[in-house]
Every structure is written in C-alpha cells, then in structure tokens.
Amino acid sequence: MRCSVWFVASCALILCALQLIDGATGQRQCSEMDYYYEYTECDSTGSRWRVAIPQSPGTCTGLPEPVRGTECTFSCKAGEFLEMSAQECTQCAAGSYSLGSGIRFDQWDSMPAGFSSLATSLENGPRGDDRLTCNSSSWVPQGNYLESNRDECTVSLIYAVHLKKQGSVSFEYQYPDNGLLFEFFIQNDQCQEMDQSADTKWLKLTNHSEWATHTVNLKSGTNILYWRTGGVLMGTKVVKPILLKNIQIEGVAYTSECFPCKPGTFSRVPGSSTCEPCPRNTFSGHGASSCTPCNTTTQYAGEGSAVCKDRPPCSKKDYFQIHTACDHEGKTQVIYKWIEPKICLEGVTGADTLPPSGKREPCPPCNPGFYNNDTATCSPCPPGTYSDGMKPCKQCPAGTEPTLGYEYKWWNVLPANMKTSCFNVGNSKCDNMNGWEVAGDHIQSGAGISDNDYLILNIHIPGFKLPTSVSSHSGTEFGRITFEFETLCTADCELYFMMDVNRKSTTVVESWERTKARQSYTHVMTKNASVSYTWAFQRTNQPSDVRRYVNDVARIYSVSVSNAVDGVSSRCRACALSTQPFSSTCVPCPPGHYIDASTNQCTECPHNTYLVPHATPGPDTCRPCGPASKSDKDHSLCYSDCHFTHTEGNVTLTFDFSPLGSLGSLMNGPSFTSKGTKYFHQFNISLCGGQGHLAECTDNVTDLSIADSQREKGEGANSVKTFICQSTIIPASGRGFNTALSSQSINLADTFLGASVENTLGGIRARPELYPQSSKKVPDVNFYYKSLEVTSSCETGRSAVVTLRCNPAKSTKGELSVPSQCPAGTCDGCTFYFLWESSAACPTCTERDYHRIEGACKGGHQDLLYVWTEPKLCIGGVTLPEKKTLPCEGVEFWVRLGAGLAAFTAVLLVSLTCYFWKKNKRLEYKYSRLVMSANKECEMPGADSCAVMEGENEGDMEDEVVYSKPSLLGKLKAIASKGNGQKYENVQLNSHSKALVWS
C-alpha cells in the first residue's frame, strides 16, 4: 500500500511539473495517440492504479490523471481484450483473435518482440584465436516455425513474461535427431532456476516430421523461459535442427489488444479465439477476415497460403505411375496419375502430357511365403506350409519346421503390413500423397509436395518367434532385418533407417547421405519386442516449398525380416524330434546343442566351440574358439579365462591376467571441435570373462528424463554391452548444461578371436610399431576382438587389439593407453589399438627367475640367500626360498692342514735321502775292498781274502776304484727292484789293468 501511495504521489508531482513546463513553453495537449495505459503493481490489498504512459515523454501535456484500476484477479474471456480507457472487456474484431488471459506466438517471419537468441561462448580450444566462434549461431525464423542451430554451439531462445496468476506455457516441437541436446527450463527474476522434474526439462525425441506438444506449469510473477540446444555430434555429419512453433502462455490475466491473424489465416466473426487457415486455392493477408480466391486457371495456392502462385507447365515430375492388382490372367495394368494437388498446366508451350494408361504387363511372382491360386492377389501360405512364391504351398517334411518371416522382393502392391506417408516439415501431412511407390522389382520414393518433405515407409513387426529347436538358446539374436537399397541424388539427400521399440520413441539406426551404390544392410534385433522399422527419405534439409529435385530418388529392392511372429514361411529347416517312439513333434534343443541331420536329435557342441545362431543345422554350426580362448557352458560365445601359456624353445612362460580381468577404462583427450567444444573418448574394456563380465557404455543425451529406477533396469537407455565399447563424453563445464553428457555409445568388440604373441590373427594385425618396446625379454600378448556389426564406413565391421605388456613399474591394475599416432584409438575409424601396461601382464615366477648367494663363514656358520634376478620380469608363482644357515670350516684349518702336510713331506724326503746316502756309502766301501782283494797274487785265496779288514789303509791300494753315484730317482727304482725280488746291485769298477763287473 505504501508503494502504491508513493507511486501515485510521484505521478502527481510529474504531472504538476509537466503542467508548469507546458505553461512556460506552450506545448500542445496530449491526444489518445500520444499515450497508452498501464496498471501499477498490485499492492497487498489487491488494488492497483491505471496510469497513462506517454509514447514520447515531453512532446505534449495534459496526460489523464491516475485512476483506480480493476481488481488484480480480473481477467477477460477468450476472444476478448481489456479496453483500458473504459477498463472493460471488449470482443476482438474480425480478422483478429485473443486468448483472453494468454498470448500466442504462431508467426515467425521475424523474431517476435520480447524474444532473443543467445549463443553461449564455448571453451577455448588448443588453436586459440584460430577456432571458429558461435557468433553466427542462433534460432532462425522460418515463417511457420523457428529452426535451431545445426552445430555444436549452445544456443538459448529466451522470453520473459510476468504472470498475474498461476498459468502455463505450451509449445509444439520437432526433435528428430539425437545429435542435439534439447532442454526447456524456467528461471525467476533472480536468475534462479525453478524446480522442474526431469521429464519437463529434457524433451524427448519425436518421429521425423511429427510435432509433439510440451506443457509446463508456471508460477505467478516473473518467469524467464529458456529453450536451449547444443550439438553433441562430433563428426562432419549435419544434424537435423529442432523446430519450434505455436508457443502459448496462459496466466497474464488480461491482454490489452487483440492479435491480428497471420497471412494465410482468417477469423470470420468478432470475438474469435483462433484463426482458421485459408482453404486450397485461396489466400489472405495480415489480419484478414476472409480469404480471397485465386484465379485457378493460371494460379494455385496450397492450404494456408499467403499468396497465389503461377501454375508451371506440366513436366515428368508432375505425374507418377502405379500398378493395378493382378487380374485372373496374371496381368497388371500401368496407370499414370497426376500428383495431387495438381498445380501444373497442360496444353501450354513446353508442357508434357500424361502418358496413356492401361498397358498390361505380366504380374511379378508372389513373394516367398505367398501363393497365387488363380486369383487376382497373392495369399499367405497356411500355417505349417511354405512356398517360394512360384509354386503352390506344401507341407514341411517330417523332421523339419517352417521358418517364419517376410521376404519382399517383388513390388506389385504395397504389402499389408507396410504403410507409406508423406510429411511436410513446416506444416502437416502431405495430402493425397504417397511417400513411396511400388515399381515391380523395387519400391521407390515418391514426389512429395516440396523437396524437404519426409517420405515415409514403415513396416510393423508385433514380435519375434524363434524356431522351436533354438527357442531356448541363450543367444541375443531374436531376429534380423536385411534390405537392399540405393540412392541417386544431385542435392544433399539423406535416407534414414529408424526403429521404434514398443512404441516409445523412434531412434535413427543408420543413415546414408547423397548418392549410394546398390548395397545391403542388416540390423540384428537383440530383444523380443514389438518394433516398427521406418525408412525416411528427404531430398534436402533446407527449407523449401517447391520441387526442384524430384528426380532424386531412393530405391529399396528387397526387405527380409526373420522370425517375425506373424510372418509367413518360405522354406523349412531341420528340427530336433522328440525321443518318444514314432514321434514327429519338434522339440527345443538345450543351449549349446545342434541338430544331427542323420538322427534329428540334439547334439552338444564339442568342447571349446561356440554355436553360430540361426545357421543351417549340422556340426559346422559349432565353430572352434580361437587360441587361448574357451567357450562358455552354453556355447554361445568364446572368452578368455585370463590364463595364457607361451613356449619358446625349452622355456615356457605362464601368464595369469586375472588382476586385469575386471573392467578397464580409458578416457583419452581432451579433444576440441572446430568451434572449441571440449570432448573426450571413453573406452570400457572387459578383458576376461563371459556374458556376466561384459563392459557397458550408456548414452544419457536423450534419456535424461528417464527415472533412475527405469535406468537401473535398462529401460529406455541406449546402452551397449560388449567386450569393448566407446562413448563420447562432453563435460558439463563450458556448455551451460548442468550434467556431463555421454553420447554415441558404439560396440567395438562383441567377438573374442583369441590371444597370441603373434602380430596377426583372423586377418587383424596388431601393428607393434605403434608401441615401441625397449626390452623383448618378455613378449607382448595380443588380445584380438571383432565386431560383427557392419557400418557404412566399416563394411566388415570394427575390430580391436588389446596389447598386454609386462611392466614391473606399473601396478597390477596397470595403465591403458592409445597410440600417439592415433589419439582417438584408431587411425582408420575401423580398427582400434590399446596398450595395457601392467605388472600383472608379466609371466608367473618360476625357479629360473631367482639365484642363490652364499654368505661368508663366520663363527663356523654360513648364510645362503635367494634373490630375484634383476630386472624382475615375473609376478606371483613360486616364492623366494627362506634364508638358510649352514655350519662351515674356516680358512685357518685348511692352512694348518696344508702346512702340516708340507712339513711331513719335507721330513720324509730328507730321511729317505740320508738313508739311501748312508747305505750307498757302505756298499762302495765293500766293493773297494773286494777289488783290492782280487788283485793280490795268491794261488788260492782264502775265503775271506777279499774282505776288507778294518783299519786297513784304503789309500795304499794300487788300483783306483771308480764308481758312479746313482741319482735319487735311480735309488728309488732300485728299492722298487728289490721289492720285486731282485737282490743285487750293479757297480762299475774301473782299474788301470782291467775292470771287473759283478752282476
């Protein structure tokens, strides 16, 4: 109340001042055109004042005095506005409309007053000022709708509104591409974000060309509305923009004016709350109360047109052909029709005429699973029978069962479970237009109203049913769809293949831009659910209301869906029979079993083989696992048990990678886009283990509105479970979004080929030059993986190599890295390389990895130590033996023993020398006496005449006795001779007369 009184007093002072000035300057009196009325803010009693606000202050005098206004709870009905002069509700005139207590924005030729587009500055990339900026990124008016930016810049569309009471905001939008993030949130006048649930903040994807409506409640007071987009696609592919139209806000209490009808619409009577579109071949301008007819002879106009356009001469792009149903003679007629609505002129210069219809052609055969029993149409074979489309239906032989599915390769009429339609981007359904047209051996895209129309072809599969013999398998393939197609384009056309599971939301599975040669694409269904597959063809993504590229076309030659629960049978497959005598009932085989064709019994796959799903029954369906891999108990896949053995020469290395078997993660980067957006690539790797130990990557870009309980159950989230997967991570900082974004989760490896020290396995090369190795004492072990999912850029699927390298300096968890030459983990986009350095990648320790050291002998004891051979290149295995202490003999003992033996030897030698010398001297004396006795002249010497008497003088002997002294060696030989029985010695006696020798 105090504020209101102050405001009135202020206004009075201003008026007095203006009157004084007017009296001094002589200004003119204000007219109704010089001012407008506004209400003051409501006070605590619910009262307010009406005041006059000059259009241009100071140009006139005599503004009306402030008067008490209507109650704050006052509002007008729809179709009325508050006439401020009388403060009464008044009906809107014809040609205008009003929502009463709301406002609507449905015309976007330019940005309406109050709306602004703000691009958030991105983080600085490594190139500094060379990077592109977001200054040119904004929401763009396109007439009937607003179009968002197509790049990774974060752009906000902002509108502020002050509500007198609680209200709401609703709008229509198209959000077809998960390459963009789209959120809607509200702030108060303090720039504080209002509390919102996730499902009102994060908007869900829509089907292509379908408009969805989003409504959020608003509180009274100031509400600042934000529509914010940001690109998360890091490739060169152009994303589909978000479209926004028909923004309506309720709760403004009153509107002081009516809104004129936009061109192409009209309101016939006063008090209208909406404007109607003008019928075809009529037009209207701004604020029209009726539509003006076009001169249909030379002009035309579509529904809701603002002008009439001249009719062009007819050409080939203005008509199309269809085939009638087959008649009883097996013939079909070719019928040519003008595209409706017909806008071209016949009979003018340069105009083409409609070709004559009625030419009869042979009908194409029935599609497999259908038959023609002399009727005009092809009928599905009865249950339990099959046909190739050329012959009548037949019963499957005993021991076989029919396969269910669809196989369309002839296109005389559109199959019953397929639908086609055409959607215009800015408006609604293309009236009387078929999106796709049958053409005998193919079905092709139609003309459409304009080049940016979506031409839709859809097939619905209510569910999948596996063949009886494999119905209990634990595999993940329930069915697959395969189609063959081509595109011929001169503009920026694009063909989308999309999938809608359980009628929740349509997601793009794959897309192809511009001209593509004839090729085949297969998508595997990994869960049993109701699914709709959709093909959408758009000739250009630029706004267009004409047909320039009608000759740009997409053709689909064949579509095959396996295991469809409502399908027909084109062939039979072997099944396992019950073991009951004479039974012909097919029974399911246990997991990991194949059908023996000779006995029709289930046979388990051999050890370490896996069963190829949905292959022709027989032993060849069991494929052997690769080196160092084993199959799980169900024979559904091969995996590593974390153990590896390598033998080279007479040395065997045993590895135990169990510490690495749990999930390993690597986030490389950061990388920056051309505009400076920071992003990372995160890889999750499961090295060992089967189904229960796979790595998982999950997107949260389009699933931020899913409740946590749903996300834990895996509902709605786009997740990938495999051996190796990759996600693109965009941090929260620098983008304005309050959460980090995970997007583009892809499968890099769903099949384990094996582990080897060789550089090649299964056609995949490890490329060791990417990771130079300083030491080769322990070889690297390469784990080879393959992904069976074929992409447009990787025709044989992706592959990956994880190289395990022994590095004692790393922990057991180790460190993952990618090649420096390929910072994204891949150099070609199809083969990924990882290096996992860890001490756990070293071989198991054995006795050859340590040696013994003998300690010194102290106090009669000696220590024996065992140490690892450095560098230690092993882990686990045997442990070092404990230190041992053994008794020992010191060095002094051996010295004393040696000295004693040397002294004993010396004494022995001296004694022997003395003994032999003395004995030899005695012999010499006896020999001398004997010689002397022999020289005496006597006739008969006595018995002892030869003896030498004691005391005789040896020097008196006339003869000289000469003898040679034997050496020590000779004496030892002589002693040895005596020991052998020879008791004599040889002595040479020399005399002057003669020599005597005894022997």
Q: Transcribe 840-900 into DSSP letters.
A: GGSBBP-GGGEEEEEEEEETTEEEEEEEEPSS---BSSS-PPPPEEEE---HHHHHHHHHH
Per the rule left: phi > 0, alpha: psi between -120 and 50, beta: everything else, 724 is beta
Pick the closest to residue 673 from 288, 33, 236 (CA basis): 236
Q: What is residue 21's predicted lDDT score, i.e. its pLDDT? A: 47
Give the DSSP letter string of 168-204.
EEEEEEE---TTEEEEEEEE-TTSPBPP--HHHHBPP
What's the whole-number average pLDDT of the chain? 80
Nearest to 536 by CA among 496, 565, 506: 496
For 403-544, where are the alpha helices, taking DSSP H only? none
Residues 944, 950, 954, 960, Cα dihedral to 10°: 30
pLDDT at 128: 45
Instruction: Kindly report, residue by residue over 556-590, the tens digit of the pLDDT.
Output: 999 999 999 999 999 888 888 887 777 778 888 88
Q: Taking a C-beta distance cutoff of 8 angstroms, is the pair 95, 266 a contact?
A: yes
Nearest to 141 by CA among 115, 118, 165, 120: 115
Task: Single out the residue of 572, 537, 579 nearest to residue 430, CA to CA.
Answer: 537
Which pLDDT belongs to residue 226?
92
For residue 296, count other CB atoms closer than 10 A to its CB: 13
Rounded CA-CA distance 853/817 in Å is: 40
**Residue 160, amino acid:** A
Which one-letter DSSP state was computed for residue 668?
E
Q: Are 454 and 423 in contact (CB under 8 A)?
A: yes
∠ CA 739-743-748, nearest 5°, is 140
Go through 957-978 and write b for each residue having 16 or more CB atoms within 10 A of its CB, e for each that does not.
bebebeeeebeeeebeebeeee
What residue has token string 């070709």? 355
Q: Would you state the pLDDT for residue 844?
A: 92
pLDDT at 292: 95
Angle between helices 891-934 and 968-979 (to 10 degrees): 80
The answer to whether 447 touches 437, Cβ cutoff 8 Å, is no
Q: Is the dihedral of CA 974, 975, 978, 980 positive or negative?
A: negative
- Collect the ranges in the chain with pLDDT lower than 50: 1-25, 124-131, 705, 707-716, 938-964, 979-999
Q: For 380, phi and psi rounded to 5 degrees?
A: -70, 145
Nearest residue to 176 (alpha-carbon basis) of 480, 420, 471, 500: 500
Alpha-helical (H) ranges within 935-990 are 968-979
pTM of the model as a whole: 0.68
Cα→Cα distances 73→22, 163, 165, Å: 38, 11, 8
Instruction: For residue 45, count CB atoms less than 10 angstroms from its CB and return exposed for 0-12, middle for 13-18, buried for 19 or more.
Output: exposed
**String of b and e for 366-402 (b: at least 16 CB within 10 Å)?**
bbbbbbbeeeeebebbeeebbbbbeeebeebeebbbb
Among the listed residues 820, 803, 773, 756, the one whose alpha carbon sits nearest the alpha carbon of residue 660: 803
Can you list the positions of beta strands (E) in 704-849?
Answer: 719-722, 724-730, 741-749, 751-756, 760-761, 764-765, 781-786, 799-806, 815-817, 831-838
In the numeric block, the tokens 């030059």 are attached to: 769
Give the H or E element holding residue 259.
Answer: strand 259-260
At 560 the pLDDT is 95
Please report the pLDDT score of residue 962 as a whole number.
45
Q: What is the 3-state secondary structure (H, E, C) of 327-347?
A: CCCCEEEEEEEECCCCCCECC
Q: Is 521 exposed, middle or buried (0-12, 13-18, 19+ CB in 10 A)?
A: middle
Instruction: Give pLDDT, residue 295.
Output: 93
Task: Convert 28-50 into a string of H (helix), E (strand) and C (coil).
Answer: CECCHHHEEEEECCCCCCCCCEE
